[in-house]
Amino acid sequence: MNATPARTSNDELLRQATLAAEKSYSPYSNFKVGAALLLENGQVVTGTNVENVSFGLTICAERAALVRAVSEFGPEIRIVAVAVANLNKAASPPCGACRQMLAEFASADAAIVFPAAAGVTTMRFEEVLPLGFDMQLKDKAR
Ligand code: THU
């Protein structure tokens, strides 16, 4: 019988986010971002940013990973950790839109690992999105 696999470490998640950033389609910004989500079921799902000549249609790496995760594993997924990386040696915390999208599926204590100005930083999800709109509304909608 196989042993239960070890939970993917934050370092490994960051490595997978960096690999995902290699796939970036970002001819307009040249900013290559990757994201890796660790799901409660142990699966890791990655995504990268996909830009468009109509700039506002660009999809961030985090949201690309999120829609991929739901598409592969269904609406009950829970995200327990998120790593974000870029190939530009810049700070890249998840943008506000991505935080709001992640809120739908991420636990309050999910680890958010990202390059900050001072280096790789880990914060709890509820710290990076303290006033997301609106868990109560979501509960009522169900
Ligand atoms: N980007 C992400 O992929 N994630 C974020 O959280 C912020 C920004 C992308 C969008 C665009 O392709 C490039 O980074 C520059 O803004």
pTM, full prediction: 0.93
d(CA 99, CA 11): 21
Instruction: Give catalytic status of residue 62 as yes or no.
Output: yes
| pLDDT value, residue 90 | 98
| pLDDT value, residue 7 | 85
Which residue type occupies 25? Y
- Cβ(29) to ligand 1 under 6 A? yes
Residues with pLDDT less than 50, the chain: none
* CATH class, 2-141 region: alpha beta
Q: Which of 12, 51, 62, 127 is catalytic?
A: 62
| pLDDT value, residue 136 | 55
3-state SS class at 90? coil
- Cβ(17) to ligand 1 under 6 A? no
- Cβ(62) to ligand 1 under 6 A? yes
d(CA 17, CA 34): 5
Q: For Cα atoms 99, 5, 63, give the angle at the middle one, nearest 5 degrees.
A: 20
| pLDDT value, residue 129 | 96
| pLDDT value, residue 6 | 74
Distance from the alpha carbon of residue 24 to the mean position of ligand 1, in angstroms: 10
Q: Are 47 and 68 in contact (CB under 8 A)?
A: yes
| pLDDT value, residue 134 | 66
pLDDT tens figures, 49-83: 999 999 999 999 999 999 999 999 999 999 999 99
**What is the residue extent of each domain of the chain?**
2-141
Distance from the alpha carbon of residue 73 to the mean position of ligand 1, in angstroms: 24
Q: If we measure between CA atoms, which residue out of 33, 43, 90 comes closest to residue 71?
A: 43
